[in-house]
Amino acid sequence: MDVVYDLIVIGGGPGGYLAAERAGQAGLSVALFEKRALGGVCLNEGCIPSKALLNSAKIADYAKHGSKYGISCENVSINHKAVVKRKDKVVRTLVAGVAMKMKKNKVTVVSEEAVIQGRTAEGFVVKAKDNEYIAKRLVIATGSVPAMPPIPGLHEGYKNGFVLTNREILDITEVPEKLVIIGGGVIGLEMASYFNSVGSHVTVIEMLDHIAGPTDREISNILLNNYKKKGVDFRLSAKVTEITGNGVVFETAEGRQSVSANKVLVSIGRRPFTEGLGLEKIGVETERGRIKTDECMQTNIPGVYAVGDVNGVSMLAHTAYREAEVCINNILGKRDTMRYNAIPSVIYTNPEVGCVGETEELAKEKGIDVEIVKLPLTYSGRYVAENTELDGIVKVIVNKKYRTILGVHMIGSYASEIIYGAAMMIESEMRVEDIRQIVFPHPTVGEVIKEIMWEL
């Protein structure tokens, strides 16, 4: 225990590796502990592998509809095994990139599980295998794991490979003929999109009366109808009661029903992961499993910070990145605070959904006096030129009194790339009149946002 690090980071996902990278860049001595693989859930079993699969499906979908674009593509088929192989290569490349960044910034990477032991006069003590490490400060970035509901048959099904989580489904090499997805949230919809494209019969069982959770309802309904047309079977307002050896039993207002499956994906949300970490040894407070922090990402213990999914606020990689920056800035003595009002969220289905800020429902619930304007994406020449399904819309929510932008919600091509522009508008409290003065490139789908400013 001879070295005292300036900082120990536990967890090598987006929150952890970015904290380590920024601290290393600033000249702090840093040790980063990762028990599985650098890049965490995002690079290994989340954001990146899912998008690699979805991109292959998107290319195939365009090819299947090639004739609508004047292109003849006969017998288009997806070689799922090859898609998974490519996905693995993408993951390897990006994980190696994180390792290089750690090296460049002189971060010591310890590929072991870290357990907090306590605190001495020198700092916080962390044990990994048989070695002890000590640091003046700690960043906890241990992420999250899938929530597993206490449904009869679920755990047995998981043990024998019939029930999968995001970790397993991204690696299966055979396309299930019938895939049942429990949970019509982000993971459920992205995986429904991919497996529908590769030929599975997909059924999504969702307990609410709508899909895509907090997404603007008009937009989630467009998405629902789009995927219904593509053949995905949605069972809404459904309570799963049992997972049998060959299917899922659930109840709706119509009574008890069942649907057969070759595989079942459970995607009903994720929970912060802190098991076995030893938080109690230094008195870090948790609340229903999540680590509580202040706006500087510090826990109740000075010098101990928590970033990313483990604090349970907004379980997105880009939130984890920003929280890591806020945390390291504060450690470096530069006060910085975390704001959550302009964090974009994207569902990488085809069409994509991109949202940021207040929804119509929430703004009204909060009693904010808002003006809401929406336009079809057919206002964009680019959108019409490039698409054959023309159901996309953009919806903008404006504070009536101050004419500032509160929310932007869209469904359609490039939504994932356009939405950060809207986040900037909200973050910098731009008014309708300010946006009218910006020149948007033509022809782009994003132009519709500017057009909306003239409707307000």
Using CB positions, name the residue nearest to ligand NAI. 185
Backbone φ and ψ for 382, nearest 5 degrees, come out as: -60, -45
Question: Does the annotation list 191 as a binding residue?
Answer: no
* Contact code string over 126-155 relative to ligand NAI, x by CB under 6 A: -----------------------x------
Contact predicate 240/256, CB 8 Å = no
Q: Which is nearer to ligand NAI, 14 or 183 (CB)?
A: 183
Which 8-67 positions form the footprint of ligand NAI (CB under 6 A)?
none
Contact predicate 40/95, CB 8 Å = no
| Residue 415 tokens, joined | 């939504």
Question: Does the annotation list 186 as a binding residue?
Answer: yes
Return the bridge partners of 233, or none.
Answer: 203
Which of ligand NAI, ligand FAD, none binds 384 (CB below 5-8 Å, type-dependent)? none
- As annotated, the active-site residues are 442
Which of ligand NAI, ligand FAD, none binds 240 (CB below 5-8 Å, type-dependent)? ligand NAI
Q: What is d(CA 136, CA 80) in angstroms, rounded to the nearest whole number?
A: 48
Backbone φ and ψ for 338, nearest 5 degrees, come out as: -95, 130
Indicate which single residue of 6, 34, 45, 206 sits in contact with ligand NAI (rule: CB under 6 A).
Answer: 206
Q: Which is nearer to ligand FAD, 116 or 394 (CB)?
A: 116
Cα distances (angstroms) measured from residue 151 to each of 96, 264, 266 = 39, 13, 11
Return the bridge partners of 33, or none.
Answer: 10, 110
Which 284-343 positions form the footprint of ligand NAI (CB under 6 A)?
315-316
Write a three-state SS string for the chain: CCCEEEEEEECCCHHHHHHHHHHHHCCCCEEEECCCCCCHHHHHHCHHHHHHHHHHHHHHHHHHCHHHHCCCCCCCCCCHHHHHHHHHHHHHHHHHHHHHHHHHCCEEEECCCCEEEEECCCCEEEEECCEEEEEEEEEECCCEEECCCCCCCHHHHHHCCCEECHHHHCCCCCCCCEEEEECCCHHHHHHHHHHHHCCCEEEEECCCCCCCCCCCHHHHHHHHHHHHHCCCEEECCCEEEEECCCEEEEEECCEEEEEECCEEEECCCEEECCCCCCHHHCCCCEECCEECCCCCCECCCCCEEECHHHHCCCCCHHHHHHHHHHHHHHHCCCCCCCCCCCCCEEECCCCCEEEEECCHHHHHHCCCCEEEEEEEHHHCHHHHHHCCCCCCEEEEEEECCCCEEEEEEEECCCHHHHHHHHHHHHHCCCEHHHHHCCCCCCCCCCHHHHHHHCCC
Interaction of residue 184 with ligand NAI, rule CB under 6 A: yes
Which of ligand NAI, ligand FAD, none binds 141 (CB below 5-8 Å, type-dependent)? ligand FAD
Indicate which single residue of 277, 279, 327, 356 sits in contact with ligand FAD (rule: CB under 6 A).
Answer: 277
Q: Which stretch binds ligand FAD (CB under 6 A): 31-39, 171-179, 241-249, 425-433?
A: 31-39
* Contact code string over 286-325 relative to ligand FAD, x by CB under 6 A: ----------------------xxx----xxxx-x-----
Which of ligand NAI, ligand FAD, none binds 351 (CB below 5-8 Å, type-dependent)? none
Interaction of residue 8 with ligand FAD, rule CB under 6 A: no
Question: Does the annotation list 213 as a binding residue?
Answer: no
Residues in Cβ contact with 424 at an 8 Å cutoff, skipping those fewer than 6 apart = 342, 430
Indicate which single residue of 186, 277, 307, 419 sits in contact with ligand NAI (rule: CB under 6 A).
Answer: 186
Question: Does the annotation list 184 as a binding residue?
Answer: yes
Q: Which is nearer to ligand FAD, 157 or 312 (CB)?
A: 312
Q: How far is the CB of 105 from ligand NAI (least distance, A)?
A: 27
Q: How many residues of this chain interact with ligand FAD, rule: CB under 6 A?
A: 36
Q: Which is nearer to ligand FAD, 40 or 407 (CB)?
A: 40
Which of ligand FAD, ligand NAI, none binds 183 (CB below 5-8 Å, type-dependent)? ligand NAI
Interaction of residue 188 with ligand NAI, rule CB under 6 A: yes
Which 78-137 positions form the footprint of ligand FAD (CB under 6 A)?
113-114
Q: Which is nearer to ligand FAD, 36 or 271 (CB)?
A: 36
Q: Which is nearer to ligand FAD, 110 or 393 (CB)?
A: 110
Q: How many residues of this chain interact with ligand NAI, rule: CB under 6 A?
A: 25
Which 217-246 positions form the footprint of ligand NAI (CB under 6 A)?
240
Determine how β-strand 4-10 pairs with β-strand 30-33: parallel
Question: Does the annotation list 265 as a binding residue?
Answer: no
Indicate which single residue of 10, 54, 135, 187 sits in contact with ligand NAI (rule: CB under 6 A).
Answer: 187
Which of ligand NAI, ligand FAD, none binds 179 (CB below 5-8 Å, type-dependent)? none
Query: Which residues does the annotation place in the binding site for FAD?
Result: 51, 142-144, 309, 315-318
Which residues sit at the interface with ligand FAD, rule CB under 6 A?
A: 10-16, 33-36, 40-42, 46-47, 50, 113-114, 141-144, 166, 187, 273, 277, 308-310, 315-318, 320, 348
